[in-house]
Amino acid sequence: MKSDAERLGIAADRAGSGAAAPVPVAAKAHARATAGTVVPLDRDDATECAAEAGAVAMRAINLTAGYGDRRVLHGVSIDLHAGEMLAIVGPNGAGKSTLLKILGGALRPWSGTVDLEGRPLTEYDRRAIARRLAMVAQENLVAFRFSVLEIVLMGRAPHLGAFHFETRHDLEIAHAALERFDLIGLARRPIQELSGGERKRVFLARALAQDPHVALLDEPTAFLDLRHVAEIFGRLRELRVERGLAVVATLHDLNAAALHADRVLLMKDGATAGYGTPEEVFTADNLRAVYETEVYVGRNPANGAITVLPADNPRPTR
């Protein structure tokens, strides 16, 4: 409905800001990093503030991509507004991680475009992307015995010059990020000594310390127990509400996607099999076609959320 108007808005913005825009933004961030401790952390630039409720944070149009000559993505499009959470779901090998890599700029698409805050991703340099977009991978291995605080402070790197030490301002941001994910008590522990759930929270805190407008999370709750899953989604919800963080997460857990995501991209074999609200996408027909197994789709009596259960019948004769 309104996407045409938004596209026009983007086109106007692009025409206005021009290709040279990343330079003053980077220079401003640099000035902020060097100015010391007392400057309150404002958004990089008012004109590209994505935190305005409903502003387009990210848009991908008709992406195709692959490895070698194997095509794994066939014309996928998404759009994501500030404060929203988009869940990418689908069977193994559907292209979820590939899509996430393209959105983060780690992989170049064969065709199609990714816009971050109204400008093509290719117009930003790596550090400019890192000041707007944070990514948390599924596995978080660290080679050396850095402390939890040091890992979280690494999130400040895109805001700091090559020779700058973290300022009080950076430490305050790290402290707030640690507090948010309940990690203050672990701050000086080596990252290797933490459990999987704790480590995941450390990397989410690091992403938060980046002060991003968009967070790309690859299976943020894989291998975690129920309480940790609920906690992480709770924290993400807070961040979405408080500061308009836009979240894209790949999820295997359809119920979590239904409960927490505003929109769902259902993928199969690298193509879009459904895109919309959980209610629109998670129909028994859609899921049966994508997962090739019988499912039951109902409502969770406790919270009214869409609930998906396997409905294959292993004992047909009772």
Partner 1 sequence: MSEPAIRRNPSIADAALADFADAHLTRARMAMTLAALGALLIVVSIVAVAFGSVHIDLIRAVMDSSSPDRAILFGARIPRVLMGAIVGAVLAAVGAALQALVRNPLAEGGILGISGGGAFGAIVALVVFSKLGGSDVAIPLCAFAASLLSTLAVYRLAQVDGRLEPFTLLLVGVIFNAFWGAAIMLVNSIVNFFFTHSIIFWLMGSFEAPTYREVLMVTVLGGIGFAVLISRARDMNLLSLGDDEAAELGVEVDAVRRTIFIATSVMIGAAVSVSGIISFVGLIVPHIIRTAIGADHRMLIPASILGGAAFTVAADLIARTVIAPSELPVGAITALCGGPFFIYVLRREGRKSLAL
Interface ranges with partner 1 (CB under 8 A)? 38, 40-43, 49, 51-53, 82, 101, 104-106, 126-131, 133-135, 137, 140-151, 153-155, 157-158, 160, 162-163, 165-166, 168-169, 171-177, 187-188, 191-192, 208, 210-211, 242-244
Closest to partner 1 by CB, 43 vs 228, is 43
Least Cα distance to 99 among 147, 131, 130, 63 occurs for 63
Q: Are 151 and 142 in contact (CB under 8 A)?
A: yes
In the bound state with partner 1, the residue whose beta carbon lies nearer, of 180 and 268, is 180
Shortest spacing between CB 50 and partner 1, in angstroms: 9
Q: Side chain identity at 18, as an amino acid letter?
A: G
Chain position carrying tokens 């991703």: 121
* Cβ-based nearer residue to partner 1, 162 or 226: 162
Closest to partner 1 by CB, 153 or 258: 153
CA-closest candidate to residue 55, choices 217, 242, 213, 212: 213
Least separation in angstroms between residue 208's CB and partner 1 is 8
Structure tokens at 52: 């305005």
Residue (174 or 264) nearer to partner 1, CB:
174
- Please answer whether residues 133 and 25 qualify as being in contact, where contact means their C-beta atoms are separated by less than 8 angstroms: no
Q: How far is the CB of 76 from partner 1 (least distance, A)?
A: 20
CA distance 38 to 222: 39
Nearest distance, CB of residue 53 and partner 1, angstroms: 7
Instruction: Tell me the closest approach of the beta carbon of residue 146 to partner 1, in angstroms.
Output: 5
Contact between 75 and 252 (Cβ < 8 Å): no
SS3 120: strand
